[in-house]
Amino acid sequence: MNVVARNVAVARLWWSASAAALLLVLAVLAAIFGFVFIKGIPALRDPAIFVTVTSGVAGGLANAIVGTIMLVAGGVLLVTVIGIGTALWVTEFAPAGARRLLRFVIDVLAGVPSIVVGYFLYVALVVGAGWGFSLAAGAIALAIIMLPYVVRAADLALSGVPRGLREAAFALGARPVTVAFSIALPWALPGILTGILVATGIGLGETAPLIYTAGWSNFMPRLAFTHAPVAYLTYVVWSFINMPFERSHALAYAAAALLMIAIFVLNLVSRTAVDYWVRRTRGRR
Amino acid sequence: MIAGALVFVMMVFLIAYAWPAIRFNGIGILTDPVWNIGNQYGSGVEIHNGIAAQPGAEFGGAVFIFGTLASAALAMVIAVPLSILVAIALVYRVAPALQPLVNALVELMAGVPSVVYGLWGTVILVPWIGQRLGPWVAEHLGGIPGLRGDPGSGNGLLAAGIVLALMAMPFMVATVRDVLLAQDRALFEASMALGSTSWQAVTKVLLPSVRSGVFAAVLVALGRALGETMAVLMVCGSALNQFPQNVFQAVNTIAAVIVSQLDSALTDASGMAQRSLAELAVVLFIITVGVNGIARWILHGMSSPGTVRGA
């Protein structure tokens, strides 16, 4: 076989291999989705699952659903304030060196394993500060996990504010604070919002930082920040699948399917709704 | 600056908390394979370096450190070639009209929670390895080191590696795709004009031109695989005090052992078990931050910055 023929044959072979790899990955993805939905949807058909609390390893998921919403809402609230504050300070007010340092620290924080964050908060807050397993500790854990995503998105969005826009505002005599809050922030808002939605999806799917901060409870979460453990959906997926009961397995699959649906919807919203919003508002200007 | 202080505070706090354990365990935390919280009902104390724990207590992390490194390495061995092949196919072979769809699917895969990967691993992958693959390999390929011996239950190093590989792939595929798309199309055409095949153009010209971006992506993915907790915890078999004899047998990782052993550690009256887990957390912290630091350093020296960003 001459060189050209061999090279062409090799190319064909490898292109087939790469196509096969792509198909393999899509097949595995389809298998995971199919598996979760086929097993999870039947259990979700029964509306009782949304209104009954888990009793031991049976019952419904009401407490876990409400707990997940409370924990993620708490985390998102915290991370929105801290994340946007950090990004605003760095892009608008801080000296140039601070920005590089912050980006470095955010990268480091993004690399910290979530269980390390969870264990740190367990030692510091749950035991150290005596909060016990609680909503506050869990929400703080989620906020720390989400922080890098929000700060990066906000930093990127704020850096994208056109220079001319800022200069025009300054030329009109605006103070730096006015420029930051009335010019830069509104302009960057869609980008920041996308970051927050992505972070919300991450928070929904987290387990490791919650196990030793939020704990687990068979009851509806109370509106207490400390001394009250909170249930959450990922815990159900993790622990109920190892129980020997049919009902616990059904609950685990149902929780997994619910989480996937929620994350799917969040992704869809962050892709389409935010785009639509940007086009509408920018279009009008 | 809260964000900045946070990493520092976490590190200092964990080291301070783990300090008695660091003194008690010495180098053993890295080299000793035995994890034993000691006799909780006996009399007397075990004293090393002036620090007391329950009699017989020994906190070695060698099994967990090995499991962490081995499962992440196995994941990279599976995921890196596959991801590069997938990214190449995605950029050069998928019709442009279909690309947004495939991209959306890849992103969807990145959003799947780790417990869902763990659930799939527990229910589908582990039984398959334990009942089909393991016995088949033991029968037909039993002579090969690393495959020899009892194939175990399916919970083990291979299951952990496969699940971690699946979790690492979306990020790597997306990053390799992005750096390839950022390259000048003229490179491809110049190579073709010189008479290369399209495959040669991609592998001999384009891939080398983005190698630092690919390498950095691999390191970021490696950092995540090293720190992944739930999916690994659900399929690794939670080994204690023993190393796996082949790729099928149970392992344990630092992240997984912190979850699976904390309940037990809380019963240690001396508190040394909890502090030793914190010491393991510090070890994991240092490993992952180190890997990410190297990735960052490589990215910093890259000719085309801005193409690789964390997902």
Closest by CA to A41, choosing from A264, A263, A256, is A256
Mutate to test the interface with A, among B2, B124, B229 (most CBs of A within 10 A): B229
User: Which residues in chain A touch residue B258, judged by CB atoms under 8 angstroms apart?
Assistant: 115, 119
CA nearest A151 in B: which residue? B3
* End-to-end Cα separation, chain B, in angstroms: 23
**Is residue B233's pLDDT more than 80?**
yes
Closest by CA to B14, choosing from B258, B189, B194, is B258
- Residue B186: predicted pLDDT: 87
Closest by CA to B302, choosing from B155, B178, B202, B148, is B178
Dump pLDDT digits (tens) for B185-218. Answer: 888 888 888 888 888 888 888 888 888 889 988 9
* Residue B190 tokens, joined: 């110049």
Distances (CA, A) of B39 to B42, B79, B217, B242, B261: 6, 43, 46, 20, 16
User: Which residues in chain A touch residue B128, judged by CB atoms under 8 angstroms apart?
Assistant: none
User: Which residues in chain A touch residue B224, judged by CB atoms under 8 angstroms apart?
Assistant: 111
Percent of chain A's residues with pLDDT above 90? 39
- Residue B196: predicted pLDDT: 86
CA nearest A34 in B: which residue? B120
Q: Are residues B262 and A90 in contact, defined by beta-carbon separation less than 8 angstroms?
A: no
* Interatomic CA distance for residues B78 and B87, integer angstroms: 15
Dump pLDDT digits (tens) for A71-117. Answer: 999 999 999 999 999 888 888 888 878 888 888 888 888 888 999 99
Highest mean pLDDT among A47-51, A97-101, B60-64: B60-64
Q: How many CA atoms lie within 13 A of A245 on its CB side?
A: 11
Interface of B with A in 210-269 (CB under 8 A): 220, 223-224, 226-230, 233-234, 255, 258-259, 262
- Residue A138: predicted pLDDT: 94
| Degrees to nearest 5, angle at CA A244 with A238 and A248 | 55
Residues facing A54 on adjacent strands = A59
Task: Indicate the pTM of the whole model.
Answer: 0.90
**Is residue B86's pLDDT more than 90?**
yes
Q: Are residues B305 and B299 in contact, defined by beta-carbon separation less than 8 angstroms?
A: yes
Helix, strand and coil content of chain B, in percent to the nearest 5, comes to 70, 5, 30
Q: Are residues B120 and B235 in contact, defined by beta-carbon separation less than 8 angstroms?
A: no
Interface of B with A in 269-308 (CB under 8 A): 274, 277-278, 281, 284-285, 288-289, 291-293, 296
The Cα of B254 is separated from the nearest Cα of chain A by a number of Å equal to: 9
pLDDT band at B305 (very low <50, low <70, confident <90, very high): very low
pLDDT band at A217 (very low <50, low <70, confident <90, very high): confident
Lowest mean pLDDT among A49-58, A146-155, A164-173, B85-94: A49-58
Closest by CA to B171, choosing from B86, B92, B89, B234, is B86
Three-state secondary-structure class, residue A173:
coil
Q: How many CA atoms lie within 13 A of A165 on its CB side?
A: 16
| Degrees to nearest 5, angle at CA A115 with B121 and B274 | 115
* Interatomic CA distance for residues A219 and A242, integer angstroms: 21
Count the Cβ atoms, other than its own, within 10 Å of residue B288. 25
**Is residue A31's pLDDT more than 60?**
yes
Asked if A114 and B229 come within 8 Å (Cβ–Cβ), the reply is: yes
Dump pLDDT digits (tens) for A224-280. Answer: 788 889 999 999 999 888 888 888 888 999 999 999 999 989 888 887 877 777 777
Q: Let me know if domain B63-300 sits in CATH 3.40.50.720.
A: no
pLDDT band at B80 (very low <50, low <70, confident <90, very high): very high
Nearest to B89 among A22, A107, A271 (CB): A22
List all residues 6 or more positions away from A34 whose beta carbon is below 8 Å from its beta carbon.
Answer: none
Q: Phi and psi dihedrals of A241, rounded to 5?
A: -70, -20
Nearest to B10 among A29, A120, A206 (CB): A120
Query: DSSP class of residue A92?
Result: I
**Is residue B306's pLDDT more than 50?**
no
Three-state secondary-structure class, residue A58:
strand
* Residue B199 tokens, joined: 């495959």
Highest mean pLDDT among B71-75, B126-130, B190-194: B71-75
Residues of chain B with CATH 1.10.3720.10: 63-300
Asked if B82 and A21 come within 8 Å (Cβ–Cβ), the reply is: yes
* Residue B75 tokens, joined: 């994941």
Residue with tokens 């200092």: B12
Q: Which residues of B194-215 are buried (b: 16+ CB within 10 A; e: fewer)?
A: eebbbbbbbbebbbebbebbbb
Mutate to test the interface with B, among A116, A125, A127, A261 (most CBs of B within 10 A): A116
Dump pLDDT digits (tens) for A139-181. Answer: 999 999 999 999 999 998 998 888 898 899 999 988 888 888 8
Strands B46-48 and B51-53 come out as antiparallel
Q: How many CA atoms lie within 13 A of A60 on its CB side?
A: 16
B173 touches chain A (CB under 8 A): yes
Three-state secondary-structure class, residue B258:
helix
User: Which residues in chain B touch residue A35, judged by CB atoms under 8 angstroms apart?
Assistant: 120, 123-124
Closest by CA to A50, choosing from A258, A262, A265, is A258
The Cα of A172 is separated from the nearest Cα of chain B by a number of Å equal to: 30
The Cα of B85 is separated from the nearest Cα of chain A by a number of Å equal to: 5
Domains and CATH numbers, chain A: 48-284 (1.10.3720.10)
List all residues 6 or more positions away from B87 whose beta carbon is below 8 Å from its beta carbon.
Answer: B172, B173, B176, B177, B180
User: Which residues in chain B touch residue A16, judged by CB atoms under 8 angstroms apart?
Assistant: none
Dump pLDDT digits (tens) for B15-59. Answer: 999 888 888 888 888 888 888 888 878 777 778 877 778 888 889
Percent of chain A's residues with pLDDT above 70? 98
* Interatomic CA distance for residues A232 and A252, integer angstroms: 12
Strands B58-59 and B35-36 come out as antiparallel
- Residue B307: predicted pLDDT: 41
pLDDT band at B74 (very low <50, low <70, confident <90, very high): very high
CA nearest B271 in A: which residue? A123
* Residue A138 tokens, joined: 């869990």
Three-state secondary-structure class, residue B47:
strand
- Residue A1: predicted pLDDT: 66
Asked if A18 and B310 come within 8 Å (Cβ–Cβ), the reply is: no
Closest by CA to A206, choosing from B285, B231, B79, B292, is B231
Q: Write down the mean pLDDT value for chain B.
A: 86
Concatenate the DSSP letters of all residues of B136-169 into one string: HHHHHSTTSTTT-S---SS-SHHHHHHHHHHHHH
- Residue A97: predicted pLDDT: 81
- Residue B302: predicted pLDDT: 54
**Is residue B301's pLDDT more than 80?**
no
Nearest to B108 among A36, A109, A264 (CB): A264
* Interatomic CA distance for residues A51 and A244, integer angstroms: 24
* Interatomic CA distance for residues B266 and B278, integer angstroms: 12
The Cα of A166 is separated from the nearest Cα of chain B by a number of Å equal to: 24
What mean pLDDT comes out for the span B4-11? Answer: 82
Three-state secondary-structure class, residue B90:
helix
Helix and strand counts by DSSP (H, E) for chain B: 15, 4
* Interatomic CA distance for residues B250 and B231, integer angstroms: 14
pLDDT band at B309 (very low <50, low <70, confident <90, very high): very low
* Interatomic CA distance for residues B116 and B167, integer angstroms: 11
- Residue A283: predicted pLDDT: 57
